[in-house]
Amino acid sequence: MSSPSRGPAKGRRIADRPPSRWRRGRSSHPEAGAAHTTGPGSASPPDRPTEQPDPAPTGTPPTEAESIRSTPAEAEPTSTTPTEAEPAPPPESGLGVSPRVQALLWLTAAVVVVAGVAALVAAALGVGPEWLDGVGAVAVATVLSWALAVRTGGRPWVTAVLALAIGGSAVVVDTAMLRTGAAVLTVVTGGVLAVMLTVPAATYLRACREVLIATVISGITALAAVGLEPTVTVPRFDYASLLLGLVLVFGLVYRLGAGLHGLGRRGLVAVLVGAVLLVLTLAYAELLRRYGAGSVVQSALEFVDWTTERIGAFPRPLVVLLGIPALVWGTHMRARRRQGWWVCAFGVTATIPLAQGLLDPEGSFLEAGLQAAYSLVPGLLLGYLVVRTDLALTGPRGRRGRRAEEAEAHRPEPSRLAEL
């Protein structure tokens, strides 16, 4: 008896042939792969995994776990899958607090400064107890240190505690060395803070505003320094405070100006000219005082005395020739390029001498105030000449071009009370 026909041989060979890669790629369900079974003589590829056939259907409905296993798994989102952008948290201030708390802290600092200045003025007028000037000086010095740390991104509370400890020890122990050292630190801190609190100025008038603000801060620092009652030898105190102030401000500007490679050609020229002018001014004054001819020194002193008798004071040469013009040109340049910070650094040659103006044993408060005013006027005029020369050499021509350049000169910087 003949066996039932299984179809032509060609059809059997096609049925026994394993599915191609193209057909395997198109089949997405395991039932499609189970329909293509291999024949007795064919071998499955070694790298293809053996597919398990689905269980035979039964009369009972599948359980929840089996339905989950039989349903194709959805692609889980990976780290590369774009997700919805989460709202960024508000930027924190240099104090690590919210803007509202920061404003409250600055308001408290302003109240402490006003109270300290009032105590110092009352003590200068002979009103109040003997310890009033010391308390006012320590309060103002502490706030100045705190503000400088906030502005430069330091540790405000640690700095404030150290300043309070140094000033309190100087007042309580009451020794000449501690009082003089605390006065030097106060002058340096206030002079550097006066420069750091300036903001870019797009016009000359705004640069004059920044100079006036720095002068007010220097005046407050002078009151705090004289309230500590230091024992001052004027040349040594001047040189020590000025040297420390220059080292501190150039260290801060080095960080703010992104190192020496951010100096640029113009900044390099400004720094070299300022350094040469500073060294020549100090060296000439010292050599003239020590080794100058008697007639020359006497003539210079007579001219200073004659001017003081006529107008009440004599301007400081270093403030007029270097400090005020550096602040004017530096703030004006910062509105256009960051190299202006290097020019502003020489502004401490104005703020530090003004901050120690009340420490001269032979001077008075009125003379110190007139000396600051007489130094401001020619210094601002010289700064105007420097700014006009810079614009004439590098700026656009004509009035319209200058107005357009001033309108575009808005290099972004943090606000006055924000961290740099």
Structure confidence at residue 70 as a pLDDT band (50, 70, 90) = very low
Residue pair 347/323 in contact (Cβ under 8 Å)? The answer is yes
pLDDT of 97 over the 70 cut: yes
Residue pair 350/411 in contact (Cβ under 8 Å)? The answer is no
Residue 303: predicted pLDDT = 81
Residue 81: predicted pLDDT = 44
Of 78-87, 93-102, 325-334, minimum mean pLDDT range: 78-87
pLDDT of 49 over the 70 cut: no
Region 52-56 average pLDDT? 50
Of 2-16, 218-232, 274-288, 331-345, minimum mean pLDDT range: 2-16
Of 10-14, 120-124, 361-365, 412-416, minimum mean pLDDT range: 10-14
Residue pair 163/142 in contact (Cβ under 8 Å)? The answer is yes
pLDDT digits over 239-252, tens only? 899 999 999 999 99
Angle between helices 204-227 and 365-394 (to 10 degrees): 150
pTM score over 0.85: no
Residue pair 146/95 in contact (Cβ under 8 Å)? The answer is no
Whole-number Å distance between alpha carbons of 174 and 299: 41
pLDDT digits over 193-219, tens only? 999 999 999 889 999 999 999 999 999
Residue 79: predicted pLDDT = 44
Structure confidence at residue 44 as a pLDDT band (50, 70, 90) = very low
Residue type for position 235: P
Residue 94: predicted pLDDT = 55
Beta-strand ranges (E) seen in 40-125 are: none
Residue 363: predicted pLDDT = 80
pLDDT of 117 over the 80 cut: yes
Phi–psi pair at 395, nearest 5 degrees: -90, 175
Structure confidence at residue 395 as a pLDDT band (50, 70, 90) = low
pLDDT of 222 over the 90 cut: yes
Any idea what the Cα angle at residue 204 is, between residues 194 and 402, rounded to 5°? Answer: 145
Region 320-349 average pLDDT? 90
Region 356-367 average pLDDT? 86
Which of 135-149, 260-274, 396-410 has the highest average model confidence (pLDDT)? Answer: 135-149
Residues of the chain with pLDDT > 70, as a percent, come to 70
Whole-number Å distance between alpha carbons of 346 and 326: 6
Reading the block at residue 294, the tokens are 């008697």
Whole-number Å distance between alpha carbons of 377 and 55: 99
pLDDT averaged over every residue in the chain: 78
Region 47-57 average pLDDT? 49
Residue with the larger pLDDT of the pair 392 and 324? 324
